[in-house]
A = this chain, B = another copy of it.
Amino acid sequence: MSEPRLRAKELDAADGLAAQRAEFVLDEGGEAVYLDGNSLGALPVAVPGRVEDVVRRQWGELRIRSWTEGGWWTAPERIGDRIAPLVGAAAGQIVVGDSTSVNVFKAVVGAVRLARSADGAAGPAGPARDEIVVDATTFPTDGYIAESAARMTGCTLRPVPPSEVPDALGDRTVAVLLNHVDYRTGRLHDLPALTAAVHAAGAYVVWDLCHSAGALPVGLDEHGVDLAVGCTYKYLNGGPGSPAYLYVRAELQDRFDSPLPGWNSHAEPFGMRPEYAPAPGALRGRVGTPDILSMLALEAALDVWDGGGVTIEAVRAKSLALTDFFLECVEAYVPGGRVECLTPRPHGERGSQIALRCPDAGDVMKRLIERGVVGDFRHPDVLRFGFTPLYVGFADTERAARVLAEVLAETGA
Contacts and interface: CB of A to CB of B under 8 A. Distances in A.
Contact of A100 (B259, B289, B374): B289
Interface string A176-199: 000000001000000000000000
A231 B259 CA distance: 20
A240 B141 contact: no
A62 B211 CA distance: 22
A344 B101 CA distance: 42
B145 A262 contact: yes
Given A144-B276, A243-B291, A266-B140, A48 B43 contact: no
Contacts of A270: 379
Interface in A236-251: 239-244
A25 B58 CA distance: 12
A25 to B, nearest CB: 4
A288 B100 CA distance: 7
A297 B67 CA distance: 18
Interface stretch (A3-11, A33-41, A78-86, A322-330): A33-41
A130 interface: no
A287 B101 CA distance: 7
Copies of this protein, total: 2
A145 B266 contact: no
A270 B139 CA distance: 11
A102 interface: yes
A64 B39 contact: yes
A98 B272 CA distance: 22
A363 to B, nearest CB: 16
Contact of A47 (B55, B233, B264, B266): B55
A246 to B, nearest CB: 13
Interface in A143-193: 143-145, 147-148, 152-153, 159, 184
A124 interface: no
Interface string A16-31: 0000000001000000
A56 B42 CA distance: 11
B39 A59 contact: no
Given A140-B272, A291-B294, A148 B64 contact: no
A145 B260 contact: yes
Contact of A239 (B152, B272, B293): B293
Contacts of A297: 55, 293
B40 A263 contact: no
B136 A262 contact: no
A52 B54 CA distance: 11
Contacts of A242: 291, 293
A46 to B, nearest CB: 11
Contacts of A25: 56, 60-61
A66 interface: yes
A183 to B, nearest CB: 9
B259 A152 contact: yes
A28 to B, nearest CB: 12
Contacts of A136: 274
B59 A262 contact: no
B63 A144 contact: no
Contacts of A243: 291
A219 interface: no
Interface of A: 25, 34, 36, 39-40, 42-43, 47-48, 51-52, 55-56, 58-61, 63-64, 66-67, 72, 98-102, 105, 136, 139-141, 143-145, 147-148, 152-153, 159, 184, 231, 233, 239-244, 258-264, 266, 270-274, 276, 287-295, 297, 374, 376, 378-379
Q: Which 6 A-B pairs have the closest CB atoms?
A: A99-B288, A101-B262, A101-B288, A240-B292, A141-B263, A43-B60
